[in-house]
Structure 1
């Protein structure tokens, strides 16, 4: 994995809101993002979710109620999130989290459209 650019903002505060199911992240450039846990889970950067190339993504279903068990630092460039459904292989780098924040509405709409097209549910069965 390539290192982060020297000017990449880094989190100054990461706060898990377990009850509301949101991870709040404030970056050194002043931007603050509120990530629903479900969003972070379905957008995991892991190969299990994203595949090994374009078009190999696996649609994540039934993740509406997923939570976070723990968040671990990975060096000075990322966090690893352990979700309550057992998923823990995604490494969320600062630049990946910034991208998620900047494009959250677009990525979420795309996810909901793919779920609808697949006739899938956000709720576990």
Structure 2
């Protein structure tokens, strides 16, 4: 492992599986993850998704069918996926990809909880950027 100043695992292999919509990532520590495109999309580390501070996250919905149409390396530390819905501003660092893979069960639970709290479904279309409505009809 000479030459790596950081102890963080780095990807040794990244495969985009279009048909099953997962990003398969093998890391230098032997870990191998299959990260769903949808998970990457709803947890994209971009301002558009994360907001500009805690509590400003924009809940993403309707991303189950999203594809990764391109994957661009950024330096030696990240990849920048282009999603089929036009979203391409998220930089996924190796550490972040590792966390998405290692913690995906917990992340899915958090996502489902946030959907429930917002009263929206996973497959609902994203609301327009206009004013927010607060309907509680179930």
1:60-71 matches, within 5 Å, as 60-71=60-71
Corresponding residue SS for 1:82: strand
1:1-40 matches, within 5 Å, as 6-40=6-40
Q: Distance in 1 between matches of 2:20 and 2:79?
A: 21
Deviation of 1:119 after TM superposition, in Å, equals 2.0
What TM-score does the superposition give when structure 2 sets the normalisation length? 0.84
Pairwise CA RMSD of aligned residues?
A: 1.4
Q: State the aligned residue count.
A: 122
The 4+ residue runs of structure 1 with deviation greater than 6 A are none
Deviation of 1:124 after TM superposition, in Å, equals 5.0
Q: Distance in 1 between matches of 2:5 and 2:112?
A: 32
5+ residue gaps, structure 1, are: none
Deviation of 1:106 after TM superposition, in Å, equals 0.7
Structure showing greater radius of gyration is 2
1:42-53 matches, within 5 Å, as 42-53=42-53
